[in-house]
Amino acid sequence: MHKVLIENAIFHAHHGVFEEETIVGGKFEVNIELETDFSESAKNDVLEGTIDYSAVYRMVEQEMMIPSKLIEHVGQRIVNALYANFDSIQFIRLKISKLNPPIKPTIEKVSIVIEE
Residue ranges of domains in the chain: 2-115
Average pLDDT of the chain to the nearest whole number: 95
42 C-beta neighbours (distance < 10 Å), count? 12
Contact 32/92 with Cβ under 8 angstroms? yes
Task: Tell me the per-residue pLDDT of 10-50, one tens digit each, with 9 for 90 and over.
Answer: 999 999 998 888 889 999 999 999 999 999 999 999 988 89
**List of E strands, 2-108:** 2-13, 26-36, 91-99
CATH T-level assignment (fold) for domain 2-115: GTP Cyclohydrolase I, domain 2 (3.30.1130)
Q: Is the pTM of this model over 0.85?
A: yes
